Amino acid sequence: MSTDDATPANAGSTPADEYEPHFESLGMPALRALAHPLRVEIMNELSDFGPATASMLAERLGESSGATSYHLRQLARHEIIQEDTERGSGRERWWKMAPGGVTIGGAETLETPAGREVTEQISLSWQQNNERRLNAYLRRGLDTFGPEWVEASALSTSHLEVTRDQLAELATEYYKLLNRLKEKWKTEPTGDRKRIQAQFNAFPLVEQDQRAEATKTVDRRAVDRP
């Protein structure tokens, strides 16, 4: 599971259409550092809306700038975020997401109960943030951006029967497409740009075995009925 830029950690100068996405998952020390409600909120703000200062984040999140400064430094220690040296006058530091964004759920961290617990905690926080962003768009998107932007948006849910390898292929192709388009758009005129959030979910439905078993039970009862 990853958030922010879909740029593979090993992309380097590889042409966009040749990317083979590979994301380095956070280890336990970094995962524990992120597993703080305010740090997750700070990361979400930087990921969703771009670089900001501690004061800006404090105002948005209803915290003191001292608190946001402290947590920003802790996130930076684990290379989840980094200082944006191209912004600011030196009086206040600007921060941004580190290249490649954040990926969690690596095999090493999922091997232990503590790793699974902290991964679940962060994942749920991310999902709640995504839902807040989507709900805000559904309520106010038309009034804020107008019908042209709404028509250009896409909310899509698809259901497929796939193997595990096919599911991995779907995710890989999505990241490759996103990176190819990002590289292409860098060379196009700026135009009227808005910051967007692309949400993509592809996962096996955990209830499907229960549903199948329930169906078999009904079928057996129908056969056994005198």
Within a 10 A sphere around the Cβ of 74, how many other Cβ atoms? 16
Q: Is pLDDT of 226 > 80? A: no
Mean pLDDT over residues 48-53, rounded?
A: 91
**What pLDDT is stored for residue 121 in this prediction?**
93
Predicted structure pTM score: 0.75
Q: pLDDT tens for residues 171-216?
A: 899 989 998 998 999 899 888 888 888 888 777 676 677 666 655 5
Per-residue pLDDT, 25: 86
Band of pLDDT at residue 219, cut at 50, 70 and 90: low
Q: Residue 113 pLDDT > 90, yes or no? A: yes
Distances (CA, A) of 178 to 124, 140, 190: 24, 26, 18
Mean pLDDT of 20-29: 73
Q: How confident is the model at residue 115 (pLDDT cuts 50, 70, 90)?
A: very high
Give pLDDT, residue 92: 84
Under a CB-based contact definition with an 8 Å cutoff, are residues 50 and 35 in contact? no
Tell me yes or no: is domain 28-147 CATH 3.10.450.50.
no
Answer whether residue 6 shows pLDDT above 70. Answer: no
**Residue 34: pLDDT band by 50, 70, 90 thresholds?**
very high
- Domain residue extents for the chain: 28-147
Best CA proximity match to 31, nearest among 169, 126, 95: 126
Buried b (16+ CB within 10 A) or exposed e, 94-132: bbbbbebbbbbbbeebeeeeebeebbebbeebbeebbee
Q: What is the DSSP letter of 192?
A: S
pLDDT tens digits, 130-176: 899 999 999 999 999 999 999 999 888 888 899 999 998 998 999 89
Q: What is the pLDDT of residues 57-82, one digit of tens each?
A: 999 999 999 999 999 999 999 999 99
84-100 tens-digit pLDDT: 988 866 678 999 999 88
pLDDT at 142: 92
DSSP letter (8 states) at residue 111: T
pLDDT of 217 over the 60 cut: no
